[in-house]
């Protein structure tokens, strides 16, 4: 037994040394391992981000701080174990300087340990559960957090004479985050809340909406992952909830720009709070939307796309600041506190939490030039993630 | 409360139309076709394409979905499925899972991964309110269409020559062959009918169940539950199984949303323990 | 002589049909007992009731003085009842050697031993070798069973049944379907079964029956029509009318 | 007589003797550690999938029980090992044993459902049980982390010496060792009287019962053992990735492992391993050049495989195995 142990130990030592020996190559390239769900139920997230990343490089060239950017795209099919292995392989075999992408919370969390161990920055471009950035000191987020988007909804509802809200959220991390942050804030302001959680793989909303209808609330607060929003909206109308005077409110996922046209007129009138709308009124956004549509056959960018776009900006700005130094700690230091004007408006990477600080907009879904858009009408400036803010 | 019952029945009706073809093919050829959902998905996409790209009205797309999928069914049965009948269940399972994978990836490639959305004609939107019971117009429509289908299937199965030959073949294909019944042709026809019905169910179900490339995987379980619980030798068996499933599923989610998703699985396992040959299977010596 | 196997008013109904109707039957120790009857008379149902493949609607089965009506198939084997099937039931992927060794190891109660090695077990080897020799299977013991000619397969099945060291052996049409060339060897084997084993033989072939049987029971429509010495049965007018007459033409 | 007894003994011995190809297989499995240092993570996944497929082989290949829900035990084992490590007991071998016990017990509890019934009923019941477990893991977020996965698993070094590294070196050697040991145990079992009785049930349950084999008891026993093997595979997933997500209970795991075993061929213990290599290799190569649509090609592969290609792969395998005695070789049920 001891003999075997020594043998194994020797073997391990040798091969570690061998691997280290081949470390120094391709000094002028900085690789980004982009891990996205390109297939499976969340593939639309992957496609949006992939398109945005390509657009960014097409617009800005591919050399930053003396480093040529190389993207290695991997499909994790929305499967966390695969994400973990891909992250590990990208770090070990491809020696990537950044890990980026991460379509869902579990996927982002699966890679967190790899980021920590390898000291490689992990840029979360989509996943939105509040706690993600706490999983590793190397995580930086350019999407949003659900509490960040949901709490302002509670404020708006309270101010607009909504007393009783029924919440319907998908039963997983982000949904629970949205429900909790909204309900707590709303109750604290004197409102009453009833809640129901819908399983993630649920084919029919009818029974949940029926409960909602019988509760006779002033408003229905909803969070469902981008993609199944359409089905929800249609059944909401089919059940006559709109005619009964129930307002549809929630974070903007349910009226995702990517699928809004498909949802159709039933979406009109929904009030949502979110960080990005393709209709955001700024020069930067108009240019972004136009370029994105031109490059992708008319596909409208959504909040996933803008997360990927800004993620690339954060990465490249950091490379410029470090003059091409790809040391993880230096890059993270460079990212902390970074701020710039994004298509969604001004954003900042919080120096303490590495999470994003951004404007949250209250929007109403309306028809504009024959197309449906979420038109922003109130701005809540520079909102921090309330969950982490409360811990301070 | 009654609304829930109504919703459940409508949901069950769609499940029945989706699954009854599977039940007959399973009974007839003892063939485990996990790819049945792929046919349903195809029907859904036919409707979507016709409506979105060609502007065909919804009602007209339904028979087209039926015919289109039935034709594809005939061709696939001839080319791919027939060599599989003699093989064991395991090979069949693997073969049809392969087809499901191809269908899922193919649909993703051709149609994109997002949920497909159709716009129903105005007269199918909204709901009636009868004595405080809200009844969705579309659900009522689905219920009527599927009800007529179920009725005519039952009639066709029990009263026509085709039906009696089919029943004989399901009971014992060997004996039926001996009696001069062209079992192969009968089966090709049944397969086409079954796939066509799945296609129609897929088209009708877009509004209720959604439609995306993962449809065949997501609903495979539902179909199989209907078939295993309902048995494979009658039309009424799968029909009541689908009703039971639809109502239990919807009611479960309504009354105990915390465990709503469990209910159908638990129900299935319990039923299979109590009645391993299916709830409505005829007793066989 | 004493009874090793007895049934008392054994009834089995399928739906409304009575497959066996209050059968009282006795198998004496060391007997060569033939069960005959036209197709559909309930012979195979009766054997299935004896061996536990079917549960009787009413009545009892007694083996060596013990009521075994409620016992499982495998427990009946352990208590000394073995059988062959009308249609060969073999382990097609095994060799005759493995099949015999399996029966021997089960008889010895080794079946749950997950870590013992068959080739280390003297008793399994002794018993297996003895059976292989007795049934003249030495030369084909390492061939796959599926590759053997039908007569040999029949032989393997009888050997496997016998390896369970039964006190009662039920042979369901052992010679059916065996080509003439292989028949003789098979019949020799049936003939040379040790005399302390009681044999119940189900057969259509009158030559075989009158060659082996010391007693005959005639089953018609699920009922015992006649029971007794072969010479008496052969002369029984009711039997001749119901069965032998038509069989002799076949 | 003694000569015949010797021949019988020799035949029985030959059926369990190690074949040269087997030794070569395991030496090769060890050698790839040096040959492909860049692919250790993938190799680790292959080893784990191979163990999972071996578990399925025990019930499907050797006892004829089909299952569409074998992931239930994989997932249970993964969560058991993960939770144990999360709550302070980080020793991998203790975690492995714990996972095997938990999954084994679950297998024992589930076995009454599967020992009776036909193929279709078994497929449905196993599928249902796996789905129920998936839902429980999803809903019981406070314990399992729900859809976000189980976080905060800290695994101690193996034997207190080798800690799990980013390269996957320890992971692969650890998984390979576990696979090898459990394989040895399985090999011994399948060549025992117990293993012989399972094959008897698979070949012909009517004759098995008539030969004195109690089918229910034996099937329940092997189902329990197979469940604990699957649990071990789950534990390896949890320990080598230090993370457990709902995916371990997902339907596609059950489907994949079935495909893996059928690709490799059930009933001779190596099928799962060969299948795992083929499957993962295919998946990795295909998804490397078409990340979006690898599923299509896997599907096409399966269809062609069942229609035509089986003889190709199995022909190669049988060439190697052909010199093994018939009893080990077995045949597809």
The DSSP output letter for A255 is G
Residue B101, min C-alpha distance to chain A (Å): 11
Strands A63-64 and A67-75: antiparallel
The Cα–Cα gap between C176 and C186 comes to 11
pLDDT digits (tens, 9 = 90+) for D272-323: 999 999 888 888 787 766 656 777 887 888 888 887 766 555 555 555 555 4
Give the pLDDT score at D41. Answer: 85
- Provide, as residue numbers in chain C, all residues whose Cβ is less than 8 Å from the Cβ of D58: none
Q: Does residue A343 contact residue A309 with C-beta atoms inside 8 Å?
A: yes
Identify the chains in contact with C, defined as 3+ C-beta pairs within 8 A.
D
Q: Does D touch C (3+ CB pairs < 8 Å)?
A: yes
Dig out the tokens for D42 from the structure.
């993938």
What confidence score (pLDDT) does residue D103 get?
96
The residue that leads in pLDDT, C250 or B260, is B260
Residue with structure tokens 């803008």? A306
CA distance D59 to D258: 11
pLDDT interval class at D237 (50, 70, 90): very high
Q: Which fold has domain A28-144+283-354?
A: Rossmann fold (3.40.50)
In this prediction, residue D80 carries a pLDDT of 95
Beta carbons of D333 and B88 less than 8 Å apart: yes
Q: How many residues appear in chain A? A: 392
Contact A260, A370 (CB under 8 A): no
Higher pLDDT, B93 or D34: D34
**What is the C-alpha separation between C121 and A273, in angstroms, rounded?**
77
Prediction ipTM score:
0.79
pLDDT value for D323 = 47
pLDDT averaged over chain C?
85
Cβ atoms of D270 and D25 closer than 8 Å: yes
- Neighbour order of strands in the sheet with A63-64: A63-64, A67-75, A29-36, A98-101, A122-124, A139-141
DSSP 3-state of A245: coil
Alpha carbon of B135: minimum distance to chain D alpha carbons (Å): 31
Lowest-confidence segment of A266-280, B50-64, C231-245, D205-219 by average pLDDT? C231-245
- Predicted pLDDT at D226: 95
pLDDT in tens, A189-238: 888 898 888 876 665 687 888 888 888 888 999 998 766 777 788 778 87
Nearest residue to A315 (alpha-carbon basis) of A113, A74, A4, A56? A56
Q: Are strands A139-141 and A122-124 parallel, antiparallel or unpaired?
A: parallel
Q: Where are the domains of chain B?
A: 2-215
Which of B88, B93, B248 to probe the D interface (max D CBs under 10 A)? B93
Alpha helix ranges (H) inside B210-259: 215-230, 236-255
A221 close to B15: Cβ distance less than 8 angstroms: no
User: Is a pLDDT exceeding 80 seen at residue C113?
Assistant: yes
Which tens digit of pLDDT belongs to each residue from C26-69?
999 888 999 988 877 888 889 889 998 888 999 999 998 899 99
Tokens for A1?
Answer: 């037994």
Pairing mode, if any, of strands A371-383 and A164-170? unpaired
Query: What is the pairing mode between strands A164-170 and C81-83?
Result: unpaired
User: Residues 6 or more apart from C140 whose CB is under 8 A from it?
Assistant: C96, C148, C152
The whole-angstrom separation of Cα B23 and Cα D127 is 18
Amino acid A202: pLDDT: 61
Residue B46 C-alpha, separation from nearest chain D C-alpha, in angstroms:
20
CA D4 to chain CA centroid, nearest Å: 38
pLDDT of amino acid D236: 95
Position A246 pLDDT exceeds 80: yes
Arithmetic mean of pLDDT, C183-191: 84
Residue A25 has pLDDT above 50, yes or no: no
Q: Where are the beta strands (DSSP E) in A178-296?
A: 192-198, 219-223, 247-251, 271-274
Considering only CB atoms, C118 lies closest to which of D12, D217, D326, namely D12
* Neighbour count for residue B280 (Cβ, 10 Å): 18
Q: How confident is the model at residue D210 (pLDDT cuts 50, 70, 90)?
A: confident
Other beta carbons within 10 Å of A322: 17
Closest CA to A270 of A250, A293, A287: A250
Closest Cβ opposite residue C91 in set D15, D195, D204: D204
D23: how many CB neighbours lie within 10 A of its CB?
A: 10
Neighbours of chain A (3+ CB pairs under 8 A): B, D
B-chain residue closest to A263, CA distance: B117
Task: Mark the ranges of chain B whose per-residue pLDDT is less than 70.
Answer: 1, 28-29, 131-132, 232-233, 257-261, 272, 275-285
pTM: 0.83
Is 60 exceeded by the pLDDT of residue A316? yes
Q: What are the DSSP calls for D143-201, one per residue?
A: HH-GGG-B-----PPBTTTB---TT-HHHHHHHHHHHHHHHHHHHHHHTSHHHHHHHHH
> From the list B94, B221, B224, which residue is nearest D259 (CB)?
B94
Distance CA(A163)–CA(A186), nearest Å, equals 9
Quick one: tokens of A207?
């029974």
Whether D298 and D284 have beta carbons less than 8 Å apart is answered as no
Partner-chain contact A80 D247, CB within 8 Å:
yes
Cβ of D17 under 8 Å from any chain C Cβ?
no
CB contact under 8 A, B225 and D301: no
Strand-pair category, A29-36 with A67-75: parallel
Residue with tokens 């034997």: D159
Contact C112, D196 (CB under 8 A): no
Confidence of residue A21 (pLDDT cuts 50, 70, 90): very low
Q: Which of D128, D135, D303 sits opposite B98 (nearest CB)?
A: D303
Residue A11 has pLDDT above 50, yes or no: no
Integer Cα distance of A276 and A270 in angstroms? 15
| For residues A32-54, average pLDDT | 86
Q: Reduced to 3 states, what is the DSSP secondary structure of residue D46?
A: helix
Q: What is the mean pLDDT of chain D?
A: 84
Rounded to the nearest integer, the mean pLDDT of chain A is 84
Counting Cα atoms < 13 Å in the Cβ hemisphere of A315 gives: 35
- Would you state the pLDDT for residue B279? 53
Instruction: Provide the domain count of chain C.
Output: 1
The pLDDT confidence band at residue C122, using thresholds 50, 70 and 90, is confident
Query: Residue A222 — φ and ψ, nearest 5°?
Result: -130, 135
A32 — phi, psi (to 5°)? -115, 120
Q: Write out chain B residues lying below 8 Å of D117, CB-based.
A: 272, 276
Q: Domain range holding C98?
A: 3-249
How confident is the model at residue C250, as a pLDDT? Answer: 37
Angle formed at CA D104 by CA D99 and CA D107, multiple of 5 degrees = 130
SS3 A274: strand
A286 pLDDT tier (thresholds 50, 70, 90): very high
The answer to whether the Cβ–Cβ distance between B98 and D125 falls below 8 Å is no
Nearest CA in chain B to D119: B89
Could you tell me which CATH number the domain at A147-274+360-391 has?
Answer: 3.40.50.2300
Position D47 confidence tier, pLDDT thresholds 50, 70, 90 = very high
Quote the pLDDT of residue B259. 67
Q: Which of C240, C167, C118 is nearest to C2 (CA)?
A: C167
Judging by beta carbons within 10 Å of its beta carbon (0-12, 13-18, 19+), is residue C240 exposed, middle or buried? middle
C250, C39 contact by CB (below 8 A): no
Instruction: Categorize the per-residue pLDDT at C232 as very low, low, confident or very high, splitting at 50, 70 and 90.
Output: confident
Do C74 and D212 make contact, defined as CB atoms within 8 angstroms? yes
Closest residue of B to D251, CA-based? B217
* Rounded-to-10 torsion of CA C109, C111, C113, C119: 90
CA distances from residue B168 to B82, B165, B173, D176 in whole angstroms, order as listed: 20, 5, 7, 54
Q: Does residue B171 or residue C116 have the better pLDDT?
A: C116
Mutate which of A72, A104, A106, A196 to disrupt the D interface (most D C-beta within 10 Å)?
A106
By C-alpha distance, the chain B residue nearest A202 is B261
Average pLDDT over residues C101-109: 88
pLDDT higher than threshold 50 for residue A9: no
Stretch D70-91: mean pLDDT, rounded? 92
D299 and B108: CB-CB below 8 Å? no
> Percent helix, strand, coil in chain C (nearest 5)?
40, 25, 35
Q: In chain A, what are the domain boundaries?
A: 28-144+283-354, 147-274+360-391
Burial class (CB in 10 A: 0-12, 13-18, 19+), A284: middle
CB contact D255 to B (< 8 Å)? yes
Radius of gyration of chain C (CA): 18
Q: Coil, strand, or helix at residue B121?
A: coil
Q: Which of C55, C91, C160, C171 is the mutation pick for testing D, counting most D CBs within 10 A?
A: C91
d(CA C98, CA C132): 11
Query: How sure is the predictor about D120, in pLDDT bands with cuts at 50, 70 and 90?
Result: confident
What is the spatial distance between Cα A254 and Cα A231, in angstroms, rounded to a whole number?
10
Shortest CA distance from C103: residue in chain D = D211
């Amino acid at each position: 037994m001891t003999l075997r142990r020594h043998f194994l130990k020797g073997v391990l030592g040798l091969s570690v040394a061998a691997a280290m020996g081949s470390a120094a190559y391709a000094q002028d390239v900085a690789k980004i391992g982009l891990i996205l769900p390109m297939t499976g139920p969340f593939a639309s997230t992957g496609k949006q981000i992939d398109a945005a990343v390509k657009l960014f490089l097409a617009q800005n060239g591919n050399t930053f701080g003396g480093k040529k950017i190389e993207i290695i795209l991997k499909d994790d099919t929305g499967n966390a174990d695969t994400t973990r292995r891909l992250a590990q392989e990208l770090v070990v075999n491809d020696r990537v300087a950044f890990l980026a992408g991460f379509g869902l919370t579990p996927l982002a969390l699966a890679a967190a340990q790899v980021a920590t161990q390898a000291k490689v920055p992990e840029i979360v471009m989509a996943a939105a559960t509040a706690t993600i950035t706490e999983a590793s000191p190397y995580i930086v987020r350019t999407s949003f957090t659900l509490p960040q988007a949901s709490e302002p909804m509670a404020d708006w509802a309270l101010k607009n004479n909504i007393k009783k809200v029924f919440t319907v959220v998908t039963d997983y991390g982000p949904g629970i985050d949205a429900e909790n942050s909204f309900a707590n804030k709303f109750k604290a302001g004197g409102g009453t809340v009833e809640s129901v959680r819908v399983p993630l793989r649920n084919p029919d909303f009818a029974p949940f909406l029926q409960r909602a209808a019988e509760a006779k609330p002033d408003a229905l607060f909803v969070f469902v992952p981008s993609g199944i929003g359409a089905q929800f909206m249609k059944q909401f109308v089919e059940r006559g909830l709109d005619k009964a005077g129930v307002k549809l409110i929630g974070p903007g996922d349910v009226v995702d720009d990517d699928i809004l046209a498909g949802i159709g007129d039933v979406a009109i009138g929904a009030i949502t709070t979110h960080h990005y709308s393709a209709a955001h009124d700024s020069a930067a956004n108009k240019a972004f939307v136009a370029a994105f549509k031109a490059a992708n056959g008319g596909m409208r960018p959504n909040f996933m796309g803008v997360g990927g776009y800004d993620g690339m900006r954060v990465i490249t700005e950091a490379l410029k600041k470090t003059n091409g130094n790809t040391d993880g700690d230096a890059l993270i230091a460079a990212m902390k506190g970074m701020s710039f004007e994004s298509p969604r408006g001004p954003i900042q990477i919080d120096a303490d939490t590495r999470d994003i600080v951004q404007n949250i907009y209250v929007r109403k879904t309306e028809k504009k030039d024959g197309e449906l858009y979420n038109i922003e009408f109130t701005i809540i400036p520079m909102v921090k993630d309330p969950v982490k803010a409360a811990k301070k | 409360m009654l609304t829930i019952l109504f919703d459940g029945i409508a949901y069950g009706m769609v499940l029945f139309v989706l699954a009854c073809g599977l039940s007959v093919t399973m009974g007839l050829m003892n063939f485990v076709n996990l790819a049945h959902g792929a046919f349903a998905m195809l029907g859904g996409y036919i409707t979507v394409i016709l409506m979105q790209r060609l502007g065909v009205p919804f009602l007209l797309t339904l028979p087209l979905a039926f015919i289109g999928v039935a034709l594809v069914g005939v061709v696939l049965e001839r080319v791919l499925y027939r060599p599989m009948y003699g093989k064991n269940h395991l090979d069949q399972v693997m073969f049809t899972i392969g087809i499901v994978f191809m269908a899922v990836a193919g649909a993703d490639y051709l149609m994109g991964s997002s949920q497909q959305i159709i716009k129903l004609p105005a007269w199918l939107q909204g709901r009636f309110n009868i004595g405080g019971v809200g009844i969705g117009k579309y659900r009522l429509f689905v219920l009527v269409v599927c009800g007529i289908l179920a009725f005519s299937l039952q009639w066709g199965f029990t009263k026509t020559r085709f039906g009696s030959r089919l029943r004989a073949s399901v009971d014992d294909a060997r004996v039926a062959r001996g009696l001069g019944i062209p079992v192969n042709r009968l089966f090709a026809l049944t397969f086409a009918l079954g796939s066509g019905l799945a296609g129609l169910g897929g088209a009708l179900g877009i509004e209720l169940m959604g439609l995306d490339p993962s449809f065949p995987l997501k609903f495979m379980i539902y179909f199989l539950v209907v078939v295993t619980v309902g048995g494979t030798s009658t039309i009424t068996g799968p029909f009541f199984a689908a009703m039971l499933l639809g109502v239990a599923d919807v009611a479960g989610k309504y009354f105990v949303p915390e465990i709503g998703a469990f209910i159908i699985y638990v129900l299935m396992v319990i039923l299979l323990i109590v009645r391993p040959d299916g709830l409505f299977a005829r007793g066989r010596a | 002589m004493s009874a090793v196997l007895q049934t008392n008013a054994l009834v089995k109904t399928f739906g409304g049909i009575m497959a066996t109707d209050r059968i009282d039957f006795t198998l004496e120790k060391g007997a060569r007992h033939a069960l005959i009857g036209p197709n559909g008379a309930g012979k195979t149902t009766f054997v299935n009731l004896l061996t536990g493949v079917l549960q009787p609607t009413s009545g009892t089965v007694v083996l060596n003085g013990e009521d075994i009506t409620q016992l499982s198939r495998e427990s009946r084997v352990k208590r000394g009842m073995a059988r062959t099937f009308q249609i060969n039931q073999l382990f097609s992927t095994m060799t005759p050697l493995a099949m015999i060794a399996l029966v021997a190891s089960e008889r010895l109660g080794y079946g749950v031993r997950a870590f013992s090695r068959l080739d280390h077990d003297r008793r399994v080897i002794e018993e297996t070798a003895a059976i292989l020799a007795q049934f003249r299977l030495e030369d084909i013991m390492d061939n796959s069973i599926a590759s053997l000619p039908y007569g040999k397969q029949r032989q393997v099945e009888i050997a496997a049944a016998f390896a369970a060291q039964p006190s009662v052996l039920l042979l369901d049409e052992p010679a059916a379907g065996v080509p003439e060339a292989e028949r003789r060897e098979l019949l020799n084997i049936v003939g040379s079964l040790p005399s302390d084993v009681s044999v119940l033989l189900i057969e259509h072939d009158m030559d075989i029956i009158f060659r082996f049987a010391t007693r005959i029971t005639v089953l018609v429509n699920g009922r015992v029509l006649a029971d007794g010495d072969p010479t008496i049965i052969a002369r029984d007018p009711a039997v001749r009318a119901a069965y032998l007459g038509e069989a002799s033409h076949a | 007589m003694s000569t015949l007894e010797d021949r019988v003994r020799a035949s029985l011995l030959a059926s369990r003797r190690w074949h040269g190809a087997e030794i070569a297989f395991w030496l090769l499995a060890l050698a790839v550690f040096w040959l492909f240092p860049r692919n250790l993570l993938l190799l680790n996944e292959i080893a784990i999938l191979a163990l999972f497929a071996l578990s399925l082989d025990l019930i499907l290949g050797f006892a004829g029980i089909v299952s569409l829900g074998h992931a239930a035990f994989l997932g249970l084992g993964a969560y058991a090992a993960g939770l144990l490590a999360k709550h302070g007991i980080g020793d991998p071998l203790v975690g492995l044993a714990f996972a095997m016990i938990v999954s084994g017990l679950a297998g024992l509890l589930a076995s009454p459902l599967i020992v009776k019934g036909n193929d279709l009923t078994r497929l449905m019941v196993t599928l249902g049980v796996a789905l129920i477990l998936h839902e429980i893991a999803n809903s019981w977020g406070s314990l399992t982390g729900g859809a976000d996965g189980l976080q905060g698993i800290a695994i101690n070094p193996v034997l207190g010496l080798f800690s799990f590294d980013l390269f996957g070196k320890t992971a692969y050697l650890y998984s390979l060792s576990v696979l090898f040991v459990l394989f040895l145990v399985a090999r011994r079992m399948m060549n025992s009287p117990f293993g012989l009785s399972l094959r008897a049930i698979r070949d012909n349950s009517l004759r098995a019962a008539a030969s004195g084999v109690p089918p229910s008891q034996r099937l329940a026993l092997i189902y329990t053992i197979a469940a604990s093997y699957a649990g071990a595979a789950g534990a390896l997933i949890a320990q080598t990735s230090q993370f457990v997500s709902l995916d371990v209970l997902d339907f596609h795991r059950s489907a994949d492992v079935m495909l893996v075993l059928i690709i490799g061929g059930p009933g001779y213990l190596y099928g799962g391993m060969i299948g795992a290599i083929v499957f993962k290799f295919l998946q990795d190569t295909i998804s490397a050049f078409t990340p979006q649509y690898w599923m299509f090609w896997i599907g096409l592969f399966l269809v062609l495989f069942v229609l035509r290609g089986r003889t190709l792969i199995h022909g190669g395998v049988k060439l190697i195995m052909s010199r093994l005695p018939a009893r080990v070789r077995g045949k597809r049920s």
